[in-house]
Each structure stands twice: as structure tokens, then as C-alpha cells.
């Protein structure tokens, strides 16, 4: 059993909804941040970095900042790290 509700599936087929623009953009923004992070820090450190609170992001995780629509803050931080600016 797939765990899907047949009525819910039927309703979605008859009443399609457009994805919310912010939700649609987040995967692209996340992937862009991951790609950039891989150029700045080692591949094995990217996931922990994304999931750890960062003082430069108000003690929020980069993932939380991206999810809130502020991905440019993460990109700016990664560019600063690439340039050796850490504070």
C-alpha cells in the first residue's frame, strides 16, 4: 500500500494547484548554495555547515535562511568565506 488517499489523488487531478513561487524556487536556491559551498569548503563539510547555526546568519542555519527566502545572505556569506572574511 502506498499510503496515498485515493480521494485526495482524485481531488488533486480535478483541482490542480500551482506550486507556490517561494517553494518552487527553494530547491534551485538550495542547489546553488550547495554548489557554491563545495567550491569554498570540502564536500564532506558542506552538509554539517548547512545544518549548523551560524553567527553570521543570526545563529540560524544556512538551510533555515534559504528556506525563509533569504538565500542571498547565504550566498554572500559563502563569497565572504571564499575571500577569507570570517567575521
Structural element, H or E, at residue 6: helix 6-14
Q: Which structural domain range is residue 68 located in?
A: 20-82
Q: What is the DSSP letter of 49?
A: H
Q: Which three cell numbers stand for residue 4?
A: 496515498
Is 12 a domain residue? no
Is 26 a domain residue? yes
Span 7-29, pLDDT tens digits = 555 555 555 544 444 445 578 99
Is 57 a domain residue? yes
Is 11 a domain residue? no
Span 67-85, pLDDT tens digits = 999 999 999 999 999 998 8
Taking residue 66's Cβ as centre, other Cβ atoms within 10 Å add up to: 25
Whether the full predicted model's pTM is greater than 0.85, yes or no, is: no
Q: How many domains are there within the chain?
A: 1
> Measured between alpha carbons, how far is 24 from 28 in angstroms, rounded to an integer?
8
Amino acid at each position: 500500500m502506498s499510503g496515498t488517499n485515493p480521494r485526495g489523488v482524485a481531488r488533486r487531478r480535478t483541482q490542480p494547484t500551482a506550486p507556490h513561487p517561494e517553494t518552487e524556487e527553494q530547491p534551485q536556491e538550495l542547489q546553488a548554495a550547495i554548489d557554491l559551498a563545495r567550491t569554498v569548503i570540502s564536500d564532506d563539510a558542506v552538509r554539517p555547515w548547512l545544518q549548523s547555526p551560524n553567527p553570521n546568519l543570526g545563529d540560524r542555519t544556512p538551510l533555515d535562511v534559504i528556506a525563509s527566502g533569504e538565500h542571498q545572505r547565504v550566498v554572500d556569506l559563502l563569497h565572504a568565506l571564499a575571500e577569507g572574511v570570517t567575521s
